[in-house]
Amino acid sequence: MSDRKDAINRDQAKLLAAAHRIVVKVGTSTVTGPDGSFHAQRVQPIVDSIARLMAKRRQVVLISSGAIGLGRGWLNLHRSRLDDLVTKQACAAVGQSLLMNAYKELFDPHGVKIAQVLLTDEDFSSWSRYSNLRATIERLLGFGVLPIVNENDTVSTKELESRPLGARKASFGDNDRLAALVMSGLDAEALILLTNVDGLLKKSSRSHSEPEESGLIPLVTEVTPALRSLAAGPSAGGRGGMLTKLEAAEIAMNCGGTAVIANGQVPEILDRIFAGEPVGTTFQPSKRLRGKKRWIAYAADVRGRIVVDQGARQALVAGKASLLRSGVVRIESHFASLDVVSILDEKGTEFARGISACASSENEAASRILVRRDNIVLLEVP
């Protein structure tokens, strides 16, 4: 078993060392201090490492949280004031310019040009906007520019609104998932999620009378329910947490990429990751969804819900059939032609998504097929 794990670790080290296109996400706990100020001392080493990666002809996209925290600090607001959605949006409006100015000051000495990319949920829910977003970032990378991406919290509320932990989302609601979707859309080889802990930690106890010990999980080949149970809730000052990082890493794995959760406060952490050192928790690539199917599974906004019978479920899971109206038990929410729809079994479990071939209001004589086989993506069911 040890030899097998060593071989897997070597393979992952090679993949990271060879990665050409990289998405790096830094969280609020790294970017800002407790008082809401920009923490240049923590961010500077990350900036230096990104500049070194770019000097080696690697393409990097930076996903950065911190705008709301910076805005709160600049406005001298207590953290409790952020319970109000409009106040969060106002803080974001103030903080975005502060964030970009701070990054510009740090990247200027390296000669690295930066560009701000603010996104909303709609940039991922529309296939045409999703394609345009990719084209724009591709052009920036071609110019040798570092895109710095964040959600446009001033106009979008999706990330600011709470949701039940573990609930499946159509698009993004935190910067961890946003980073994974950007990685997916750009076909990047690596996703690095920098946080304030060393990676995914496990807990074990030798006896009931002895204290628990925690240890780093160095390699993940599958995101299981047991792993999800180790995840904590949102971090102080941030909106994510280990659970959202697990979700982001799983998207990266399913897109054929390598993900790493690591401590952004460790000196030269990015250099060490891409030198192939065993730091943080590395997530091994698994299956590779491509093109529009990847968009259907992760980025698209689900507009309709279709419940199907067991026979239809088996036919879809076997991968040989389109979804016919004859297999539909009921339509729970209506949709138009070319909308992305959620496909559920009779227990209410979503197991697939697809692009509708017709509107739900059309009768069976007009269209017997609701979703064609080549527009269906099967989902991992927890």
Q: Hey, what domains does the chain have and what are their CATH numbers?
A: 2-293 (3.40.1160.10), 301-378 (2.30.130.10)
Q: pTM of the entire structure?
A: 0.84
Structure tokens at 222: 């599958």
Distance CA(65)–CA(153), nearest Å, equals: 11
Burial of 44 (0-12, 13-18, 19+ CB in 10 A): exposed
Phi, psi (rounded to 5 degrees) for 64: -125, 125
Can you give the pLDDT at residue 158?
55
Instruction: Compute how many other C-beta atoms are within 10 angstroms of the C-beta atom of residue 206.
Output: 9
Residue 35's pLDDT is: 83
What are the Cα distances from residue 290, in Å, to 71, 294, 295? Answer: 38, 5, 8
**Helix intervals (H) in 108-161:** 122-125, 127-142
Q: Which residue has the tokens 């990330």?
A: 159
Low-confidence ranges of the chain (pLDDT < 70): 1-9, 156-173, 203-214, 232-240, 365-366, 381-382
98 C-beta neighbours (distance < 10 Å), count: 19
Give the pLDDT confidence score for residue 168 in this predicted structure: 42
Q: Report which of 339, 348, 344 is spatially closest to residue 328, judged by C-alpha positions.
A: 344
Of 321, 308, 297, which Cα lies nearest the Cα of 378? 297
Say if strands 350-356 and 340-344 run parallel, antiparallel, or are unpaired. antiparallel
* Rounded distance between C-alpha atoms, residue 329 and residue 332, angstroms: 10
Q: How far is CA 147 from CA 59, 103, 119, 131, 196, in A?
A: 10, 11, 12, 16, 23
Beta bridge partners of 201: 216
